[in-house]
Chain A
Amino acid sequence: MIVGPINRRHVLAGIGAVGAATLLPALARAKGSVTAAIYPGTWDEAYRSIVAPALKKAKDVDLALEPLFAVDQIAKAQASRGVPPFDAFVLDPGPRATGIDKGLFEPFDPSKLANGSKVPAGFADKYGIAVNAQIVGIAYNPKKLPKPKSWKDLFEEPYVSRLGLTGFQTTFGTVSLIEIARAFGGSETDVEPAFAAIKKALPKVAAVMAPAALPSLFQQGQIDICYTNTNNVASLKGRGVDIEFVAPEEGAIAFVTTLHIAKGAENVDAAYAYIDTALSADVQAALMKPPSSMIPVNKDVAVSDLPVKSLDELATFKTHDWSKINPLRAGWIERFNKEVSK
């Protein structure tokens, strides 16, 4: 044998070394640590570079970020059955409603936060607290197309042949399709008019895409108009893509992204410290700057360079009741597949 005999002592020494290595980070550990799920991409980068150092400085708590989409967070938390793989969620309204429904959150007390009272009324409840607002509307390429006015324009020339459709998998897709349905005479629970419009437009549209492919397809000129959130527009603009956001005349859509503490979380106090830091005026102001361009929810932050002028204006945007949407969404997703399938 080339390696030589392996005896029990070698094996034990090896195991000991591995064990010691895992103990090392514990020695360097600060007052606390928290593991938070975070959206991959812009959110991950922004929270890593802004929130983590701020949390360390203000509360001496180490922040570990686990990049996961909202749906993946819910699926992981549900699969772990009471032993969550992270302490805090970051969620859009749809997955939030699912999380509430499935009892995945620790009861939340906004009064434990120094910044808990800085958010507008209705932005905090017993499940969690808003940390960012998102605005959804139409994105288009101003070099190729005139400025669209209404949701209905998407389904008329010259727009329809440059249109990229996405389905109900994402929050922005779902709320946009609801508003499209509404523009054609439907409602929050009746998206039939949207399906009728899609069916008619299908032979002409530029693409029916996976949401993950949206930025690439826009950048490559495969599509020149679509419905999406301002974050996507800001990040593409940052890369030098010709893209502009426009609020349709029916009104842009707003929804909030919320933070929640996972049921059975190990580090509840550290999780509160993390949420408090993410909501602090300094951090919110830093997150508002490009490239993250997040819309703040702390009333002390002066809003600038964003598609919304103030938090008061945000209140006038279209919002949706996800407890009504969620039960219907599975059917809509299946229906969308069937309608667009070749």
Chain B
Amino acid sequence: MAPGHANTVSWRLVSPLAATYVLLFLAPLLLLLTISLYDDSNLSRIGGTQWVKFFGDPFYLSVIWRTVRLGLFTVGATTALSLPLALVFCASRPTIQRVLLLIVILPLLTSVVVRTFAWIAILAREGVINETLLSFGLVSEPFPLLQSEAGLVLALTQIEMPLMMLPLVTAMRAIDPSVLDASRALGASRWRTLFKVILPLSMPGWLAGATLVFASSVTAFISQSVIGGGRLVYLPSVIWQQAMVVYNWPFAAVAAVTLLATVLGGITLLAAAANRIGGR
């Protein structure tokens, strides 16, 4: 088969998917960008006032920063919990592995709404955590967990954990055992093997996990509004309010484009960090 022929075939095979992407993804995105360039909510005047208003207001700048910070905290917390668990997973017998896997993916099997509302029952003033702390006399007043950033990160960590854990496990299992043997044979301690061999080789998995966790925690509208409450304002709730309550679509579009850019920016930063740590 001539190479030219093969190219036309692959081009033809790809074209339906490409057309779908252009139609269903690129076109709405361009529409979003266009809407953000209107001055008024009736979409009658073109101009950049919505952008100026959004980026000229310290409040919205702090909303962007807070949204990014929420993503970074969640990535940090899921990493701290997933790394040891993934190591245990890879060192376990297949039976234990199956049990661990079930526990890890369990949160994915319940609806996000149910999970979020279940967290209210856990974090509330009269919830599981506070009742336990009070009955043991560890605190004298209920500890405010609900409507706090710490509570929100805690809930998101449980909700997003599988997204970090699964790619990490996949990457770790792909490590050739003979590499570990070589490290040990060359006199490296267990810790040195962990930091110099296992972790750098798991980096692609971590990067995939961190990307997923970051993207889904900064956009977790339900968890953010229900657990975080009205005092913690994040970009998704600004978009919702502006688009659905106030009907100021241009301003909502500016916030939406900003959120998109924030997610892409965050992912790029994570990739850069991962390359650095991975020593590549």
Do the beta carbons of A71 and B245 come within 8 Å of each other?
yes
Check if A208 sits within 8 Å of B231, measured CB to CB: yes
B124 with A220: CB separation less than 8 A: yes
Q: Which residues from A are CB-within-8-Å of B248?
A: 330
Question: Does A213 lie at the interface of the complex (its beta carbon under 8 Å from any beta carbon of B)?
Answer: yes
Find out whether the CB atom of B245 lies under 8 angstroms from the CB atom of A333. yes
Knowing A165-B230, A210-B226 touch, does A220 contact B125 (C-beta < 8 A)?
yes
| Chain B: interface residue total (CB-CB under 8 A) | 28
Interface string of B52-89 (1 = CB under 8 A from A): 00000001001100000000000000000000000000
Annotate A212-233 by CB proximity to B: 1 below 8 A, 0 otherwise. 1100110011100000000000
In the complex the two chains form, is A207's CB within 8 Å of B126's CB? no
Closest A residue by C-beta to B41? A330
In the bound complex, do residue B59 and residue A169 qualify as a contact, i.e. CB atoms below 8 Å apart?
Answer: no
Q: How far is the CB of A214 from chain B (nearest CB, A)?
A: 10
CA gap between A190 and B87 in the complex, in Å: 60
Pairwise interchain contact A220-B127, C-beta atoms closer than 8 A: yes
Instruction: Give the CA-CA distance A82 to B272 in the complex, in Å.
Output: 48
| Selected interface stretch from A72-80, A145-153, A297-305 | A72-80
Residue of A nearest to B58 (CB): A338
B64 to chain A, nearest CB (A): 13
CA distance A337 to B229 in the complex (A): 11
For B59, B225, B241, B248, the residue with the greatest tally of chain A CB atoms inside 10 Å of its CB is B241
Contacts of A165 in B (CB 8 A): 230
- Report B-chain residues with C-beta under 8 Å of the C-beta of A330: 246, 248
Contact of A222 with B125 at beta-carbon distance under 8 Å, contacts A75-B244, A207-B147, A340-B230 already known: yes
Q: Is B195 an interface residue (CB 8 A)?
A: no
CB contacts (< 8 Å) of A71 on chain B: these are 244-245
Encode A301-325 as 1/0 by CB contact (under 8 A) with B: 0000000000000000000000000
State whether the Cβ of B271 lies closer than 8 Å to any Cβ in chain A: no
Per-residue contact bits, chain B 3-17, to A (CB 8 Å; 1 contact, 0 not)? 000000000000000
Q: How large is the interface on A (under 10, 10 to 19, 20 to 34, 35 or more residues)?
A: 20 to 34
The answer to whether the Cβ of B233 comes within 8 Å of any Cβ in the partner chain is yes
What is the 8 Å Cβ interface bit string for chain A, positions 164-208, against chain B (1 contact, 0 not)?
011111000000000000000000000000000000000000111
How distant is A105 from chain B, measured CB to nearest CB, in Å? 16
**Residues A169 and B120 in contact, CB atoms below 8 Å apart:** no
Q: Is B117 an interface residue (CB 8 A)?
A: yes
User: B230 to A208, Cβ gap below 8 A?
Assistant: yes
| B21 lies within 8 A of chain A by Cβ | no
| Residues of A close to B124: CB separation below 8 A | 217, 220-222
B215 at the interface (CB under 8 A from A): no
- Measured in the bound complex, the distance between the Cα atoms of B244 and A71 in whole Å is 6
Instruction: Assess the A209–B127 pair: CB atoms within 8 A.
Output: no
Q: A79 to nearest B CB, angstroms?
A: 9
Contact flags B220-237 to A (C-beta < 8 A → 1, else 0): 000001100111110001
Q: Which A residues touch B226, using CB under 8 A?
A: 210, 212-213, 216
The answer to whether B125 touches A210, judged by C-beta atoms less than 8 angstroms apart, is no
Q: Does A237 sit at the interface, judged by CB under 8 A?
A: no
Is there an interface contact between A221 and B125, defined as CB atoms closer than 8 Å? yes
Is A111 interfacial (CB 8 A cutoff)?
A: no
Q: At the interface, yes or no: A341 with Cβ under 8 Å from chain B?
A: yes
Q: Please give the distance in Å from A326's CB to the nearest CB on chain B.
A: 10
A115 proximal to B (CB < 8 A): no
CB distance from A85 to the nearest CB of B (A): 16
Residue in A75, A206, A208 whose CB lies within 8 Å of B243: A75
A196 to B71, CA, bound (A): 33
Q: Decide: B147 and A75 in contact? CB cutoff 8 A.
A: no
Q: Which of B117, B147, B232, B237 lies at the interface centre, i.e. has the most chain A CB atoms within 10 A of its CB?
A: B147
Given that A213-B225, A337-B59 are contacting pairs, would A222 and B120 also be in contact in the complex, using a CB cutoff of 8 Å?
yes
A332 to B159, CA, bound (A): 33
The interface of chain B, by Cβ under 8 A from chain A, is 59, 62-63, 117, 120-121, 124-127, 146-147, 225-226, 229-233, 237-238, 241, 243-248
26 contacts between A and B (CB under 8 A): A71-B245, A72-B244, A75-B243, A75-B244, A166-B230, A167-B230, A169-B245, A207-B229, A208-B231, A209-B147, A212-B226, A213-B226, A216-B226, A217-B124, A220-B120, A220-B121, A220-B125, A220-B127, A221-B124, A221-B125, A329-B246, A330-B246, A337-B233, A341-B62, A341-B232, A342-B232
What 3 pairs between A and B have smallest CB-CB spacing?
A208-B230, A221-B126, A220-B124
Excluding A221-B124, A337-B59, A337-B238, 9 further A-B contacts by CB distance (< 8 Å) are A71-B245, A208-B147, A209-B147, A209-B230, A217-B124, A222-B126, A329-B246, A337-B233, A340-B231
